[in-house]
Amino acid sequence: SLPRQTWELDHENIEIVRKLGEGAFGEVMMGKLKFRKGGKTVNVAIKQAKLSNLTKDQIKEFMGEARVMRQFNHPHVVRFYGVAATTEPLYMVMELASNGALDSYLKKNPDLSLDKKNEMILQAAWGLEYLHGKPVIHRDIAARNCLYGDNRVKISDFGLTRHGVSYQADPNKKAPIRWLATEVIRQRVFSLKTDVWAYAVMSWEIYNNGVEPYPGMMVAEVAQRVISGYRMDLPVDLHPEIKNLIGKCWAENEHERPSMADVASELQRITLIQRPDFAS
Ligand code: ATP
């Protein structure tokens, strides 16, 4: 297997096959990673980055993402294989999620059952519970930042992730308003509980087949209305206890929001889906 103590990969062991999508740093490719000379090969996703094309902040984000990801090992968090950094373009190599980004998967598959969607939000809860146990704040939980493959939601996109339980971001930096808790809109203070809020918005996205949250509203209106107490409707046929649970996740008072461990155990109780043994 991989030399686990180092995350350095060689370009010569990585074969690019085709383009998967466009990322913030450059193209994201599907490819193959050969573990050792003559060793076995796995299909992977590869984020490419040409440092000369990136801003200082982007380089920081790319390197930060690799540093953060290598500490994770969970079936609902996208797996990291390593970085090839001896020549340009840099390759960040990770697990291939066969169905791609979660938002586009939801748009392409609008007929998923409510049970399936309940399972998806539970899987995301397991992944986020794991991250919060580190603890890290993801800071950009949204359907576009999760992947779907092998019937599993996988949390991805760790460019903004920070260690710890709270983080004061630059109030002048742009932020994805539709996913933000009121204290982030007001003061850019992120915490585990602001991830819980974003998780509630993502659950809404899952139940609404990947539609952009607060449809028909401009971001300025979203900010103003959410601060005044407005919340989006969840599907009428959603289990009332799940509706109630999501409602608590976007409570104005962060102390009223449950932890992700509480969300996961509540969802397990309501859906009767057992937590698989993640140990193996
Ligand atoms: P942004 O910040 O704009 O979202 P990014 O650099 O974080 O960009 P991603 O969104 O992660 O890039 O990747 C771009 C696209 O590539 C995704 O929308 C998805 O379609 C595809 N993709 C990324 N990672 C994977 C993966 N591990 N497996 C399958 N497809 C992937």
Tell me which of 103, 111, 115, 140 is the catalytic residue. 140
CB distance 92 to ligand 1 below 6 Å: no
Q: Answer for the pair 153, 127: CB distance below 8 angstroms, yes or no.
A: yes
Residue 1: band (very low, low, confident or very high) from pLDDT cuts 50, 70, 90: low
Count of alpha carbons within 13 angstroms of residue 251, beta-carbon side: 12
For residues 247, 116, 97, 141, the Cα torsion angle rounded to the nearest 10 degrees is 0
CA distance 242 to 172: 35
State mean pLDDT over 43-70: 90
**What is the per-residue pLDDT across 205-234, written as a single tens digit (0 to 9) for each?**
999 999 999 999 999 999 999 999 999 999
Q: Distance, CA 21 to ligand 1 centroid (Å)?
A: 6
Count of alpha carbons within 13 angstroms of residue 266, beta-carbon side: 19
CB distance 25 to ligand 1 below 6 Å: yes
pLDDT above 70 (res 37): no
State mean pLDDT over 45-63: 90
Q: State the first-to-last Cα distance of the chain, in angstroms, to the nearest integer.
A: 16
Residues facing residue 221 across a β-bridge: none
Count of C-beta atoms within a 10 Å radius of residue 257: 24
Predicted pLDDT of residue 45:
98
> In Å, what is the CA distance from 32 to each residue of 88, 91, 236?
18, 12, 44
pTM above 0.90, yes or no: yes
**Contacts by 186-192 with C-beta closer than 8 Å and gap 24+?**
186/227, 190/137, 190/139, 190/162, 190/166, 191/137, 191/165, 191/166, 191/167, 191/254, 192/132, 192/135, 192/137, 192/165, 192/259, 192/260
E strand or H helix that includes residue 48: strand 41-49
Hey, whose CA ends up nearest to atom 18 of ligand 1?
A: 101
Count of C-beta atoms within a 10 Å radius of residue 19: 11
Predicted pLDDT of residue 25:
86
> In Å, what is the CA distance from 122 to each residue of 32, 37, 220, 264, 279?
31, 40, 31, 6, 18
- The mean of the pLDDT values for the chain is 94
State mean pLDDT over 76-83: 96
Q: Which spans in the chain are helix H?
A: 56-69, 102-108, 114-132, 182-187, 192-207, 219-227, 240-249, 260-271
CB distance 160 to ligand 1 below 6 Å: no
Is 140 an annotated catalytic residue? yes
pLDDT above 50 (res 5): no
State mean pLDDT over 65-80: 95
